[in-house]
Amino acid sequence: MKRIFRIICVLFFVMLIDLPVSVRADIAPPGHPPGSNPEPGAEFTEVRMMAETVLIEVQASTPQNSLGQAKVKADFTMRNQGSTSESMSVRFPLASNNGFGEIPEIENLSVEVNGSLVVTRRILQEDPMWRGDAVPWAEFDVTFPPNQDVNILVTYLLEGTGEYPYAAFYYIFRTGAGWKDSIGSADLIVRLPYQASAQNVIFDEHTGWSFTTPGGVIGGQEIRWHFENFEPDQSNDFEISLVMPSAWQRVLKERAAVNANPNDGEAWGRLGKLYKEMFFFRKGFRHDAGGRELYAMSVEAYEKSLALLPDDALWHAGFAELLAFHSAFASMEGQDTRAETVRAMQEIRRALEISPNDPKVNENAETIYFSFMDGIQRTNGGYDFLWLTATPELTPTFISPVEPTYTSSPPATDTPLPTATVVHAREATPTPAPVTVKNPLCGSAALVLFAVLGFLYRRASL
Please give the pLDDT value at position 400: 35
What average pLDDT does range 264-284 have in this prediction? 93
pLDDT at residue 145 tops 80:
yes
In order of their start, the domains of the chain are 2-27+246-461 (1.25.40.10), 35-243 (2.60.40.3680)
> Which is higher by pLDDT, 273 or 432?
273
> Over the stretch 27-65, which tens digit does the pLDDT of each residue have?
344 455 677 888 887 778 999 999 999 999 999 988 888
Cβ neighbour number for residue 327 with a 10 Å cutoff? 27
> Which is higher by pLDDT, 338 or 188?
188
Please give the pLDDT value at position 194: 97
Instruction: Provide CB contacts within 8 A for 295, sequence distance 6+.
Output: 275, 279, 285, 286, 322, 326, 401, 402
Please give the pLDDT value at position 316: 97
State pTM to two decimals.
Answer: 0.78
What average pLDDT does range 332-345 have in this prediction? 88
The Cα-based distances of 405 to 51, 71, 409 in angstroms read 40, 32, 10
> Over the stretch 255-273, which tens digit does the pLDDT of each residue have?
999 999 999 999 999 999 9
What average pLDDT does range 399-412 have in this prediction? 32
pLDDT at residue 404 tops 90:
no
What average pLDDT does range 382-398 have in this prediction? 63
Please give the pLDDT value at position 211: 93
Q: How far is CA 275 from the centre of its chain?
A: 13
Check if the beta carbon of residue 95 is closer than 8 Å to that of residue 103: yes
Query: What count of Cα atoms within 13 Å lies in the side-chain half-sphere of residue 118?
Result: 21
What average pLDDT does range 225-234 have in this prediction? 90
Please give the pLDDT value at position 100: 65
> Over the stretch 295-308, which tens digit does the pLDDT of each residue have?
999 999 999 999 99
